[in-house]
Structure 1
């Protein structure tokens, strides 16, 4: 499969170009300003599709050529005439990748969504978003918002996609995100507020933040003392932020640091229930824990779960481990408790 050159210098030069930044072997930024993206995923694993879950791709933003992937259990208990109570909840899964890499079509993402649809008995929506450095923040956040506005359009359309609407309960929507996707989910929670009134008749019931990718100019203990060989080490964290932040901004940017000097006061925000999950050996652990602790002190409905000894993204990197299985049951319980 060939590489994709996103942008390049048109003029010839006698000075050989060299790699300035590289991310997981799939993104290379060169000294001449060119950006090369490989069409090969950094997680080249087999897709475990046994046919028990159906899926398809849909364009949700034609202007930016953005797609989302829909999943639903193949065996549907409800019929088009059945009540909403017998339909499936809708569960968004927004992929990670430091705002720089990743895709709904990467096999690790697809495998996790197949499992979510099967085990949660849910319609899973997995949207793409524009990536940095070609598209810097806040573009990814806006794309996440457009992905949920697409769902609202389906809910009110006179000609909806019945593949979705025949089985989906628009009154039971959950928004989850992994790493950078967890950051997007948090910012959607702030923007939409409890009950998500601007999405009516769509109603968000809760958010699942899986190792949310937050930052700040002052390093936390887990960031400063975390192992250099960690799956998400400090060098890579720093690189992701450098590539994704607007020029001149720091990691105290309001979309990056929930408690930064220019961030909104989260104490005054009325949130839907939030589940925060992190690995105990993840360099982002302290930020996730502090986020959950502060919101809980302010009376928000926050559940914090830490998996001792686990690295960043353990649930998709090793999806068949005991910890990943336990997490799936925790998510399932969260969805059930907030669907009533």
Structure 2
């Protein structure tokens, strides 16, 4: 039985703290192997692993919808570059907790999905995850994998991330907008922040209301920020609390490129108020943003609840179609 995060947050994360500030990983989250064999029995997608930067031990897993492999689509599919969550500290590309999301994106949209890895904190504090994720975009643009060449439309690219991955999409998206031409033939059409992980020193209303949440209580999120942020800064650093550092010209690149932004959340998640605040601030700065905030739920619910996954699938399909159609105007 998993530890109660409010009683033993370290045990809940499978981590033991050391006196020098480092951590010992007692256990990794359950993982799922890749399967590129069409006879494997997975009705939703095929998958395979490819190294990105061996010196950093970063790698990616490509997901291909079964219907695309089995019937060869008449046109190539949108390409999702996905960044997983875990507070920058736990989880990896192959963590089983994200299987439901991979299925939702690949089979439900449908799309080719590349889930890319990054170095974890506290061994590699931010901005390491941002740097690795930006490097992954350059890797994708020149990757000669046969699945990407045959099935993926590089002119219809979306960056999507869950929790800490949503945080990565925000910061890497801002970087990518400044140097969009350097990523060609990748043409990003939208940024999707799915239950993104943000924080701050002043507690939000939803954080106070759900301080002892059974999935992401404050004691757990505080530890993740303690281990992830650069040494000597607090949760009001721009990596954690972007609202405090918003400037009028910061999003000129995103607006000029016509990128759309989707932010999703639910009111059973302690992070929801920060997500709604960011959506409001982006809108005030002229960014074309869509906020989808549902009742109930919890942090990570879309991976476990089929009804929630269905709603997410619908939102993703609508967002992708809107972003692609608006770029044709």
Distance 2:41 2:98 in 1: 12
CA contact 2:31–2:94 (8 Å) conserved in 1 = no
CA contact 2:83–2:160 (8 Å) conserved in 1 = yes
SS at 2:324 equivalent: coil
**What displacement does 1:99 show?**
0.7
**What displacement does 1:297 show?**
1.7
Divergent runs of 4+, >6 A: none
SS at 1:238 equivalent: helix
CA contact 2:30–2:96 (8 Å) conserved in 1 = no
Distance 2:30 2:249 in 1: 35
Distance 1:116 1:26 in 2: 28
Tell me which residue corresponds to 2:53: 61
Q: Deviations over 1:62-119 (max 9, x none)?
A: 210111100112343548xx7xxx1011012211111110111111213321332111
Tell me which residue corresponds to 2:137: 148
Question: Aligned in 2, Cα 1:22/1:39: closer, same or farther, shift over 3 Å?
Answer: closer
Distance 2:31 2:151 in 1: 31
Stretches of structure 2 lacking an aligned partner (at least 5 in a row): 1-7
**What displacement does 1:330 show?**
0.7
Counterpart selection for 1:307 from 294, 297, 304: 294
Does 2:164 align with 1:191?
no
What RMSD over aligned residues (CA atoms) do the two structures have, in Å? 2.5
Stretches of structure 1 lacking an aligned partner (at least 5 in a row): 1-19, 155-159
**What displacement does 1:319 show?**
3.4
Does 2:311 align with 1:326?
yes
Name whichever structure is richer in helix by fraction. Answer: 2
Tell me which residue corresponds to 1:339: 324
Does 2:203 align with 1:219?
yes
Tell me which residue corresponds to 1:12: none
**What displacement does 1:253 show?**
1.5
Does 2:194 align with 1:210?
yes
Distance 1:52 1:179 in 2: 24
Does 2:18 align with 1:30?
yes
CA contact 1:96–1:181 (8 Å) conserved in 2 = yes
Tell me which residue corresponds to 1:239: 223
TM-score (norm 2): 0.85
Does 2:185 align with 1:201?
yes
Tell me which residue corresponds to 1:7: none
CA contact 1:267–1:295 (8 Å) conserved in 2 = no
Tell me which residue corresponds to 1:15: none
**What displacement does 1:32 show?**
5.5
CA contact 1:68–1:125 (8 Å) conserved in 2 = yes
Mapping of residues 162-311 of structure 1, within 5 Å: 162-193=146-177, 196-261=180-245, 265=248, 268-271=251-254, 272-311=259-298
SS at 2:153 equivalent: strand
CA contact 1:25–1:42 (8 Å) conserved in 2 = no
Distance 1:264 1:71 in 2: 37
**What displacement does 1:254 show?**
1.8
Does 2:92 align with 1:103?
yes
**What displacement does 1:195 show?**
8.9
Question: Aligned in 2, Cα 1:62/1:311: closer, same or farther, shift over 3 Å?
Answer: same
**What displacement does 1:34 show?**
5.7
- Whichever of the two has the greater Rg, that structure is 1
